Structure 1
Amino acid sequence: MSVAAEHTEAGAPARKASKVEPPTHNPDPNFCSYYVTRKHRFCRTECRPGSLYCCTHDVAEAGATPSTAPQAENDVTSSPSDAAGCRGDMRVPCPINSNHTVYASRLERHVKVCPDLRHVTHQLPYFSSDKHANRGAVFVSSACNAPTGGGSRRYTHRDFSAEGLAAVIRKVHECYDSCIAPDLVVLRQPSRDRDAASGEAGTTTTPQATTSCQSSAPVAREEVASLKHGPQHTGLIRCLSDVVRQAQDTDSILVGRCRSQCAPIYVDGFLEFGAGKGGLSAALQQLIVQRLQGIDGTSTTVGEGAEAEAVPSSQREATAETSPLTPSAPQSSWRSDFLAEVAQRPPLVVLDMNGFRRKSDARVRHSAVPLQRLRINIKDVDLTRAFLSEIRPVPSGEGEGAAGAVPSAAPRPLENWAVLGKHLCGACTDFALSCLTEGPLLTSQAQVRLPIVVIATCCHHRCELKHVNPPEQVEGAPAPLVLPGTSFTWSEQEFAALASMSSWAVCGGFVDEERRAVGRKCKRIIDHLRVHFLRHLGYVAFQCQYTARDVTEENVCIVAFQAS
């Protein structure tokens, strides 16, 4: 009985204890005796045999001496370290992925069977360390952009004097107004542009969807468009549509960009860099599956995936009459024309270095057009080998050549793939564009062309000069970074200032409107260097504002194509 209770029984007023000691034993001996102070309860995991604790909390402190574990009923201590010391074994971080721990005695065996071994990229056949990194090393002659660590730090605009920073800002205004603003394309918003390829839900909504949401009938979660991601996916797919169709109509982004009689670019597959959860590819997959439903006459609505099989056929038919996701729903002309130039079941490949929860892969895994995910850093991917070994593997016996040589897929017909990206972060955009330099090898070895590029850029404050692809031929190092066709030259310090000042564009109310405008112009200057790099590779390239700023501040993408 507690002291407070004794005082109460004696008639004395109870007083609050200054410090309450946590309980040491779980009343239920089958469950862990580790007390979670924050939640005021014991751990709800079953105990290990012969211990008061579960496998997670039965840990040892470094230097614990081995001893024989006593029986659980004889244990009088509730300290996890004491219990683990009795076990004589301690848990250590896994060297493959430190997010989980293993017993030290089992570490040698665990590293051979760890589930995260499948994500060890250096064992992949298409891994090539830093293949697309440091392409801009010719512009770096000092340590101003050295990686963080060892006492060094990145140079920023804060390292300029007030007069020096004002001069850089004036240079930004002049460069943007004279060289970039006249070349910037704005995607026109149609009057009925409520059509949106959704974001997280992976669906497509139409004006009819808004009407149905106002009725008393329940609306499935998959039918609700994302107001954040939906308009972005719509804008990017519209840019892709104009490029594929080589459209020259009034609303097209290609007006004046190519010859009036350019043939459409037939697309055999899609490759999305920095896909994250794969929302853009999933939205594109929805449109392709809709087209397949129209061809095959199937009754399953898009976005349901594997769950559609659990819905009664009568309910599915009733839903199909009103669902905005069925082939009978009205679709805008750009969408139907775009799909006419796409393969019936094109492969969709997404590439990212990290794993994500709630990604779109599972939702479309069992659909007619599933996604294929490659988990590797963009800077380390050998795209030619990725196509030959993983994306479009060479059948046994084809293309056998010299030892160590890249196998050839010569018997295959030439395929056109579109390169996509939504908010590709910082230098990752430069890594992705560097992959395009593999074009000749891709064509000769893998029979793949990359004639279309639509990449929305993001996080320019994470760009580094050492990773910038040279916008024109450079001879000798160190070389100045010159915007081709102009007299504007950017030093290492000035480029670092461009990168750091670009963050002003997305600071919201923390900076004034003048600084936000400077930040947006810095972003466009960095992207314009990328545009010139694409032009150097033979692409028709430009920047396009694909959605409104009230949807996202990162509302500009790089569009490039090679007309046939």
Structure 2
Amino acid sequence: MAENGETRCKFWLPKKNRFCSNARIGNSVFCGNHSQRTDDQWIPCPIDPSHSVLQENLVGHVKRCPLLKQVEALSAQPFYQKGINAGEEDGEERDKQGSCCPDGIVTSEMKRNLLYSMSVSQFYELIRKIETAHGIICTDIEVSYNLPEACNMWIKKEIDRKLPFQEKHVLQQASIIGNLEEIGALKRYKNVKGCESDIEQEDESVAAVVEFGAGRGYLTQMLVDCYGIRMVYLVERKSYKLKADRSLRQKENLVLERLRIDIEDLNLNAVESLHGVSYVAVGKHLCGPATDLSLRCCLSRQDNGSSSTLRGLAIATCCHHLCQWKHYINKEYFTQMGFSKDEFLGMTWLTSWAVDADHGSNLPEITDLGSTGKREEEEEEEGENGWRRVEEIVRKMEPKERAVIGFKCKQIIDAGRMSWVKKQGLESKLVKYIPHSISPENTLLLAGIPSLPYPQV
């Protein structure tokens, strides 16, 4: 045993309170995972940048990277089109203030540094512009907590016990669906009972659902159980356990396709089985730019002829701090309001203030996003020889004041998305679809065909 211990890696694992048990490599006292090498020897894998590889091993690694076969298989799919929904850095020429990062993704740290590098007067001017814009364009966000009768089997836990049930998620899913029904994008079938497949096909107006950022797919599971949807497309780039797929595949005559692909690269019109089919698009908590990618995927390249028809859309937005100028769907909207690209990036970082407090704290729900108050006296204190850092001002702000600013930024970003959807010919609105106590990320972007009649139940 002692001899065996001498051949083991000497890297200490504090969480396990022991040394690594892997064998050493060569003359090193560490294993391959913990061998001490300088950072400049490591480069991102060209196949999957989420992990790095030694530059000297790059040629061999590319040939045997675990994701190589997956990438090759995806590239062969007709619906794969690299970057089709990514957006472009257009609008930079209208941004006279330049950019902190003209190319690539701007990290949260870069956004924070951009904001903290402002002078106090510049920071307060940005806050004033946010308050002015919010007061003009975000005045009609209604509360629409809508739990439809059709979803009672889930709400009352009258479902297969093998299916995972968390009340907060079920209520969110049901309200998303209820809002789609309310705008006429969904119609209930009379004979839907439980999870049975015997459904009276009275209306073929909506035959399919496309769920973006589907995860395990239980929002779609509820749609299938309660509304008789016959075709299901789950778009998700990651692999998940305990998916709804197993339960869905047991349903007779249900077409189920899980598209393991980044939304950025999905050409929805090239999904052959969806040609000529009417569908609704849904997404529960589509993080950051995923909302913008999904909107482009559904609306910016719709053809006549063989393409599918979007009947309704419901996307619950979240994680606005991850939004990027390149991906954002309505840059013109921001530039016309007088915001620069860098100010947009600063606003995305400010959105984290809306939900950075403990959800169990006594911070009240922000329902009336009024002005956060005058700051003339504070600005006068700045003086020529005594610049106060923005970081210090932020640290002294009250939690509610920070939350108000964060929510305003989130709603302005979502209002721009709503405006873009309207330009595509759909009726669109923003609603608060779930109480703040269930989730502070409670904004739902709704859209539907203007002439779509309300369902007859």
Whether the TM-score (by the shorter chain) exceeds 0.5 is: yes
Name the SS for the 1:531 alignment partner: helix
Give matches, 1:524-563, under 5 Å. Answer: 524-563=411-450
Name the SS for the 2:282 alignment partner: strand
CA distance in 2, matches of 1:503, 1:226: 25
- The offset of 1:194, in angstroms, is 10
Q: Which runs of 5+ in 1 are unaligned?
A: 1-21, 27-31, 44-56, 65-77, 82-92, 198-202, 210-218, 248-263, 288-338, 393-408, 475-479, 483-487
- The offset of 1:59, in angstroms, is 7.3
Aligned to 2:143: 186
Aligned to 2:84: 131
CA, structure 1 residues 481+41, in 2 after alignment: closer, same or farther (shift >3 Å)? closer
Alignment of 1:244 onto 2:184: yes
Alignment of 1:233 onto 2:117: no
Contact between 2:24 and 2:30, CA under 8 Å: does it hold in 1?
no
- The offset of 1:160, in angstroms, is 2.2
Aligned to 1:323: none
Aligned to 2:378: none
Higher relative contact order (CA 8 A, sep 6+): 2
Deviates more, 1:160-169 or 1:525-534: 160-169
CA distance in 2, matches of 1:124, 1:118: 11
Contact between 2:89 and 2:326, CA under 8 Å: does it hold in 1?
yes
- The offset of 1:451, in angstroms, is 2.5
Aligned to 2:69: 117
CA, structure 1 residues 445+347, in 2 after alignment: closer, same or farther (shift >3 Å)? same
Alignment of 1:500 onto 2:387: no
Match of 2:316 among 442, 449, 456: 456
CA, structure 1 residues 157+359, in 2 after alignment: closer, same or farther (shift >3 Å)? farther
Contact between 2:106 and 2:324, CA under 8 Å: does it hold in 1?
no
CA, structure 1 residues 513+124, in 2 after alignment: closer, same or farther (shift >3 Å)? same
CA distance in 2, matches of 1:170, 1:265: 50
Deviates more, 1:266-275 or 1:238-247: 238-247
CA, structure 1 residues 94+424, in 2 after alignment: closer, same or farther (shift >3 Å)? closer
Match of 1:144 among 79, 100, 117: 100
Name the SS for the 1:137 alignment partner: coil
Contact between 1:543 and 1:556, CA under 8 Å: does it hold in 2?
yes
Name the SS for the 2:184 alignment partner: helix
* 2:223 partner letter: L
- The offset of 1:113, in angstroms, is 10
Give matches, 1:19-418, under 5 Å. Answer: 23-25=2-4, 38=16, 57=22, 60-61=25-26, 111=63, 117-120=69-72, 121-135=74-88, 137-139=90-92, 141=95, 142-146=98-102, 147=104, 153-154=110-111, 156-182=114-140, 184-188=141-145, 204-206=154-156, 221-222=161-162, 225-244=165-184, 266-287=205-226, 339=227, 344-368=228-252, 369=254, 371-385=256-270, 387-388=271-272, 391-392=273-274, 414-418=276-280
CA, structure 1 residues 40+275, in 2 after alignment: closer, same or farther (shift >3 Å)? same
- The offset of 1:469, in angstroms, is 2.0
CA, structure 1 residues 174+449, in 2 after alignment: closer, same or farther (shift >3 Å)? same
Aligned to 1:51: none
CA, structure 1 residues 149+271, in 2 after alignment: closer, same or farther (shift >3 Å)? closer
CA, structure 1 residues 436+505, in 2 after alignment: closer, same or farther (shift >3 Å)? same
Deviations 1:407-444 (A, max 9, x none): xx6xxxx4211111111111111111112344532x32
Name the SS for the 1:543 alignment partner: strand
- The offset of 1:222, in angstroms, is 4.1
CA distance in 2, matches of 1:112, 1:163: 55
Name the SS for the 2:306 alignment partner: helix
Contact between 1:456 and 1:557, CA under 8 Å: does it hold in 2?
yes
- The offset of 1:384, in angstroms, is 1.3
Aligned to 1:420: 282
- The offset of 1:125, in angstroms, is 2.4
Name the SS for the 1:541 alignment partner: strand
CA distance in 1, matches of 2:68, 2:248: 23
- The offset of 1:124, in angstroms, is 2.8
Match of 1:481 among 332, 335, 341: 335
Q: Decide which structure has the larger Cα Rg and report it.
A: 1
Name the SS for the 2:305 alignment partner: helix
CA, structure 1 residues 415+560, in 2 after alignment: closer, same or farther (shift >3 Å)? same
Give the TM-score of the pair, scaled to structure 1.
Answer: 0.56
- The offset of 1:273, in angstroms, is 1.0
Name the SS for the 2:280 alignment partner: strand
Identical positions, percent: 23
CA, structure 1 residues 40+178, in 2 after alignment: closer, same or farther (shift >3 Å)? closer
CA, structure 1 residues 224+421, in 2 after alignment: closer, same or farther (shift >3 Å)? closer
Q: Which runs of 5+ in 2 are unaligned?
A: 33-43, 188-202, 362-397, 452-457
